[in-house]
Structure 1
Amino acid sequence: MSSLPPWLQQLLPILILLAAIALVIARLPKVELGHTEAFKRRRFFNWFPLGMTYAFLYMGRYNLNEATSALKGYTSNADFGTIFFWGTLTYGCSFLLNGPLTDKLGGRKTILISAAGSSVCNMLMGAVVYGVLTNGWQPPGGLVATLSFLYALNMYFQSFGAVSIVKVNASWFHVKERGQLGGVFGILISLGVYFAYDWSRFIAKAAPTWWVFFVPAAILALFVVLDFFVIRDTPGHTGHPDFDTADASSGESGPQLAPKDVFLKMIRNPVIVTILSIEFCSGFMRNAIMQWYPKFAKATGIGESFVAANWGMLLCVAGITGGMFAGLISDRVFDSRRGPVSAVLYAGMSLGAVASLFLLHSWMLGWAVIFMSLCVIGVHGMLSGTASMDFGGKKNAGLAVGIIDGAVYAGTALQSLLLGKILPSGEEAKAAANWSNWPIALVPLSFVGLLLATRVWNARPQSKAAPVAQVPAAASTAPQDSSRTGTQG
């Protein structure tokens, strides 16, 4: 492998892993739901470009980390925390508008809005950095304030991404297929993280810093064109029959409820409230790990270690593994229940968080945080990418995933503001001992997430022919009526 270009050396393990996963999935017994081969082919050409758009949205979101690191004396850790806080706060609040808007407009239109808007915002951020670095330009209010505003605007458009992908896929996948789809969702997140960290780092080393923003802007612009011609909201829009997906919208007739009524209905459902709380913890854990380990590694002088030097690639491999593990055991072992998988993965996160308390001075810390990343991406794929479809139903998937993803980014905003204030900067950041607040912050959230995940161990979506899902003391709901899962074509 030493003769291969560095970028290909990093990409090769990901390609090998994806090939191995494809082989394993191909050998597994199929869930037969009556889909034709023509339908499956068209479905692939629907979700694959949609999913890759989502992956590159991640690149246009988390490139901020590498960009602020490359800016060196222009921004500090606290400045990064401030910029990221305003972006994630905007993202978390945007579901109030964008969830219902996606249910009304359809996921195809909103993914186009998302990619186009994020492309423009990344171009503007790149232009600001270009002006500062080449001409000494001082933007209004200063660099941090200007990037905070533009990043918040970027994150508004970004917030359509997950909502759109779930909204579209909810009409194309049956409940019994969605665990594996949740694994695919985890793969897409992982690829996006790889693009955001390793590609952005490569760009920052090979070209001026502003290209860290310009490259994802150009890629997203290309996907706007591709998605316009390829993606459709439902099978019926491509000439294939629509079918009963057996989720919470199954059997529901009549006009679409007003967003306020749907929102109140969802937050009165104990299952959804519990999932919201779990995903709040997931948002805190995921970004407390992904955003701050590179900062820790660079500040303490271990930036050349294997984990730190290959952060994006290892996160991608871990996320793919965690996502597919979660998806496969959800459908194959736990009968399409998402709660047990989340509990298993949160147990792993809790172990990793406790271990990190004792590994702060050790090279093993990098592998502990990679393991925690495997777990948290698996949980996020199961809950934001899959449970949102199941319990929101295809009619209300936009608002459901908006609410759940909003909770994720509320947790993200909290960690960004908190860790930005309590973690060291400058000379203090060079000593690993001064970073002890970082693992301390991870432990309580991991245990709270584990406890909450056990509360939805038996939760399932209910069709309109069955009682409303509840979470009593045993944390279970009545089983799904499997006779109402008929499909066509």
Structure 2
Amino acid sequence: MAKVVNEGYVVDPIKQDSEPFMTMRERKIYNKWRLRILSFIIIGYGAYYLCRQNFSMIMPAYMEEFGYSKTQLGWVLTLASIVYGIGKFVNGYFSDKSNARYFMPIGLFASALITFLLGFSNSLIFLGCLWIINNWFQSMGWPPAARMLTHWFAPRELGTKWALGAASHQVGGAITLVFSGYLVANYGWRYAFFIPSIIAVGISYILFNRLRESPKELGFPLVEAYKGDESFEEDRSEDHMTTIEIFRKVFINRNMWYISFANICIYIVRIGIIFWGPLFLKEHKGISLTHAGWQVAGYEVAGLLGGFAAGWLSDRVFKGQRGPVGAVCMICLAITLIIFWQMPSGYDRFGAIALSLVGFFVYGPQVLVGVASADFASKKAIGTANGFVGTMGYVGSALSGVCVGWLIDETGWFGAFSFFIVAALLGSYLFFLTWNRKENEVNSVTTE
């Protein structure tokens, strides 16, 4: 009896069963789309950093021109981080209800417009208000990216592919730090807002043209079926999850809370170095702002390698367990922070290597937190889950703003680096609590 084609599947009336069927040409097209989606997630979210990472590079020039203190600038960073964190959760929920193809470029376009206006700032209040608004639109970037990653890549490859997608953090951050440092040094701090915003507007249109939310949007089978995951069974009961059901997937889950608090610790260090690293290198190490930008860019590039290494190890060596890799990375992070902090002035090359190692060990756990949120939550709730974890991370970002600024003003760099080191050690312990947990154990965990 002939087989009947139905919605991309071949149905055998004798077996009363269905299996994914694709010709070689269709599989090549599917793979091209997967590469395309991953590439434009990296490009798109990297472009978000053009309108975010530039702030730390304009801070020294802005403080010099207007005479503001580190604590005052720290308040701007903290309030913006709080808004970003709240926005990441709220926009994570809305991204679950929206099409990622539209959601991601709209956020980038709006952020670019606000960033352009920042170039006209002449007061801290004007700068602060616009920067806070900008951070709300910035929070629209990663939740739809995370949603697309989980739809286009199967769980057994997600750690590695997530790390590649998250490389947008480092690629965009590194380019922005070097580019903004050049603009500030040669044209003034205002151009570090004007030029990146214009570039971001163009990329927002490209994203709309190139992205698609899921394979089903193009008539392809689900990625788990395409990859031949024999343990996968599509749960159509989740196609129309209510808000309460989505929240239960996220909040009634002990492991989600562990990784969320670990993310606070990660962001204290990660954003703390981004916010204050250029100033530390300029003031404490006597390095020019342009060279400081290159060193912090090296921190970002090394983070790309660290994220990929952590994702690969958790996929291939630890069979989907994110906790062991995260715990070890956070201990190594504490050690490298001490080395970077205590490196004497004049050893610029060794200092740059130490800062790169800090980036390697901080971005690995950050990738694992994102992957773990996908492991522990339903695919239909990934935007909310990742948004919640991200919100908790930006509690750490908020602490790395005004708290670190105050610590530097009151105790010098000793207080700031002590804060970073304690956060790294606490993060290691929180990862340790999820040591043996994987996605197939979530249901048992949530009912304990």
TM-score range, shorter chain: 0.7 to 0.9
From 167, 177, 193, give the equivalent of 2:173: 193
Q: Is the 8 A contact 1:389 1:397 kept in 2?
A: yes
Alignment partner, residue 78 of structure 1: 71
Alpha-carbon distance change, 360 to 459 in structure 1, aligned in 2, over 3 angstroms: farther
What count of residue pairs does the alignment treat as equivalent? 416
C-alpha displacement of 1:192:
1.5
Q: What code does the residue aligned with 2:407 have?
A: I
What CA distance in whole angstroms lies between the structure 1 residues aligned with 2:346 and 2:394? 30
Verify: 1:300 aligned to 2:266, yes or no: no
CA-CA distance at 1:121 after TM superposition: 0.9
How far apart, in 2, do the equivalents of 1:177 and 1:270 lie?
24
Partners of 2:214 and 2:185 lie apart in 1 by 43
Change (3 A) 1:248 1:197: farther
Task: Kindly report the root-mean-square deviation, in angstroms, between the aligned alpha carbons of the 2 structures.
Answer: 2.6
For normalisation by structure 2, the TM-score amounts to: 0.86
Q: Percent identity?
A: 23
1:290-439 superposed matches below 5 A: 290-300=274-284, 302-304=286-288, 308=292, 310-356=294-340, 358-359=342-343, 363=347, 364-384=350-370, 386-424=371-409, 434-439=412-417
CA distance in 2, matches of 1:344, 1:471: 26
Which amino acid is 1:371 matched to?
L
Matched, 1:241 2:221: yes
- Return the alpha-carbon distance in structure 2 between the equivalents of residues 254 and 264 of structure 1: 13
1:205 to 185, 203, 225: 185
Does residue 1:39 correspond to 2:14, yes or no? no
Contact 1:461 1:469 in 2 (8 A): no
Q: Give the distance between the partners of 1:408 and 1:360, measured in 2 at CA.
A: 31
Name the CA distance, whole Å, in 2 between partners of 1:368 and 1:150.
Answer: 35
| 1:391 partner amino acid | F
Distance 2:117 2:252 in 1: 41
Residues in 2 aligned to 1:52 and 1:312: alpha-carbon distance in whole angstroms: 20
| Partner of residue 223, structure 1 | 203
Task: Go from structure 1 to structure 2 and tell me whether the alpha carbon gap of 1:373 and 1:254 turns closer, same or farther (over 3 Å shift).
Answer: closer
Q: Distance in 1 between matches of 2:384 and 2:93?
A: 5
Residues 1:153 and 2:130 are matched in the alignment: no
State the 1:81 CA deviation.
Answer: 1.1
Q: 1:103 aligns with which of 88, 96, 99?
A: 96
Q: Which amino acid aligns with 2:414?
A: S
Q: CA deviation at 1:151?
A: 0.8
Contact 1:193 1:312 (8 Å CA) reproduced: no
CA separation of 1:97 and 1:305: change in aligned 2, threshold 3 A:
closer
Does the CA-based 8 Å contact 2:181-2:289 persist in structure 1?
A: no
- Offset at residue 366 of structure 1 (A): 4.5
- Shift of residue 306, structure 1, vs aligned partner: 10
Question: Could you tell me how far 1:250 is from its partner in structure 2?
Answer: 5.2
C-alpha separation in 1, matches of 2:83 and 2:184:
27
Counterpart CA distance in 2 for 1:374 and 1:181 is: 17
The one of 267, 274, 278 aligned to 2:251 = 267
Q: 2:422 aligns to what?
A: 444
The answer to whether the 8 Å contact 2:267/2:394 transfers is: yes
Cα distance 1:254–1:209, how it changes in 2: closer, same or farther (>3 A)?
A: closer
State the 4+ residue runs in structure 1 displaced beyond 6 angstroms: 245-249
Match of 1:62 among 40, 53, 56: 53
Equivalent AA in structure 1 for residue 307 of structure 2: G
**Structure 1 residue 287: deviation in Å?**
1.4
Distance 1:124 1:458, change over 3 A: same
- Structure 2: 5+ residue stretches without partners: 1-23
Provide Cα deviations, 1:402-460, integer angstroms capped at 9, x if missing partner.
001111111110121201112139xxxxxxx9321121111211111011111111211
What per-residue deviation string (whole Å, max 9, x for no partner) do you get for residues 279-333 of structure 1? 1111111112222121111123521499735224312331122012112212221
Q: Rate the CA distance shift 1:367–1:424 in 2: closer, same or farther, 3 A.
A: farther
> 2: distance between equivalents of 1:300 and 1:342?
30
Aligned letter for 1:387? A
**Kept after mapping to 1: 8 A contact 2:249/2:378:** no
Q: Is the 8 A contact 1:456 1:471 kept in 2?
A: no
> Cα–Cα, structure 1 residues 361 and 249, in superposed 2: closer, same or farther, change >3 Å?
farther
Give the Cα separation in 2 of the matches to 1:160 and 1:232. Answer: 16
